[in-house]
Copies of this chain bind each other. A is one copy, B any other.
Amino acid sequence: MIDHVRDIPTPALVLDVAALDRNIRRMADFFAQGACRLRPHFKAHKTPEIARRQLAGGSCVGLTCATVSEAEAAAEFCSDLLIANEPIGPGKCERIAALARRVRMIVAVDSTAGLGAISAAARHAGVAVGVLIDLNVGQTRCGVLPGAAAVALAKEAASTPGVRLRGVMGYEGHVVSLPDRVEREARTREAMAGLVETAALVRAAGLRCDILSAGGTGTYDISGRIAGITEIQAGSYVLMDTDYGRLDVPFEQAFWALGTIISRPDPGRCVADCGHKSMTKDHGLPTVRGIEGASVVSLNDEHATITIPSDSTVAIGDRVFLRPSHTDPTINLHDVFYALEGEKVVGVWPIAARGYPEHRRNEMQPRRHDGHDQEN
């Protein structure tokens, strides 16, 4: 039984329950006003206990997921799920159709092939799966262009058995982290115009378009106040990272990679055991909490090398808290969160949908070859 931060094996992920709950409260309060609602992105943390608190916090219509395995974990406690991604590949649509027997499922489509795949699985399972037409509103990843192409696919969806056209989706991922508020707002409005206009065209064609889904942590209060947008997919706000921390958003850092100082080979340098296998550096190196003048200068697989003032009292065995640069892929590296109230551990929360758990059930013993089954 681990009940104090000093006893946690490292590296580990820790979160501050009070800060987490304050972030949830601030976001719920924002969406309590206006017509738009929140559908928090489960991919950010993949942690059922955090998602339960988001849902209990109010102003939510359900959860957003990126993968089928996330939806499988979320379906245990939430009855309205959007997979904001195109489900293509062995087993995905079949697993979604199986979930649709228990909960309301919506998926993104951007092609006739995609529609065909989810339709076939839904019909085979005897269920209906909702679809959103995925629009490229400027990120240039998946998605059809706003306008005629999107309307054509919406018409096709409306006449495809096994699926139900629910609306349109367009994630403004290309602008969510622009640091300048004025530019971010202008470019978000530009991106959302294509989404809102396409929804109008779909309705003008006599089709239903109840859901307009968009938004991230950097744009929730821009897209979430544009007339017509019904749902925001923000996720990172609940825990934050150094990348979103640069922006003018009212959320607190609520999680850290916890490490132990394993070496202080010279006065100006120490090394912690929380490296690149415990937090990613795709949005930059982490920052250090609580050691004056300390900064991470490199992050190798199992090492964070940290420069410190020569007169620092940091010693081998001390704990260190690093603030990750990118929430989602960092949490994906871990199996549990240690939930803290101050320095007290009040829960060890499973990160249930980490990785791609569907593969674990396929484990097969290797075929043995001569000489390969003996210890050296």
Task: Please give the residue numbers on chain A whose beta carbons come within 8 Å of chain B beta carbons, in ascending order.
Answer: 1-2, 6-12, 43, 49, 52-53, 55-56, 58, 60, 62, 66-67, 77-79, 85-92, 110-111, 113-114, 117, 136, 140-145, 173, 260-265, 269, 271, 273, 276-278, 280-282, 298, 300-303, 305, 315-317, 328-329, 332-336, 338-339, 345-350, 355-360, 362-367, 371-376
Contacts and interface: CB of A to CB of B under 8 A. Distances in A.
Nearest to A11: B356
Copies of this chain, whole number: 2
Given A335-B357, A347-B366, A359-B9, A329 B142 contact: no
- What 10 A-B pairs are tightest by C-beta distance, nearest first? A55-B376, A89-B260, A347-B366, A142-B263, A113-B316, A88-B262, A86-B262, A348-B364, A10-B89, A336-B359
A143 B12 contact: no
Most buried by B among A265, A271, A273, A350: A265
Contacts of A298: 141
B265 A110 contact: yes
Q: Is the interface of A mostly helix, strand, loop or mixed?
A: loop
A303 B142 contact: yes
B277 A328 contact: yes
Nearest to A88: B262
A85 B356 contact: no
A374 B263 contact: no
A79 B113 contact: no
Nearest to A52: B372
Given A316-B114, A376-B55, A265 B143 contact: yes
B367 A347 contact: yes
B56 A374 contact: yes
Which one of A11, A49, A336 has the greatest number of beta carbons of chain B within 10 Å? A336
Nearest to A58: B376
27 contacts: A1-B364, A2-B362, A9-B92, A10-B90, A12-B356, A43-B301, A60-B376, A78-B376, A85-B273, A88-B316, A89-B262, A111-B263, A111-B264, A141-B298, A142-B262, A142-B271, A145-B265, A173-B300, A280-B280, A282-B282, A301-B332, A334-B355, A335-B360, A336-B359, A336-B360, A338-B362, A347-B366
Contacts of A273: 85, 88-89
A113 B317 contact: yes
A67 B302 contact: yes
B375 A79 contact: yes
A186 B78 CA distance: 61
A102 to B, nearest CB: 13
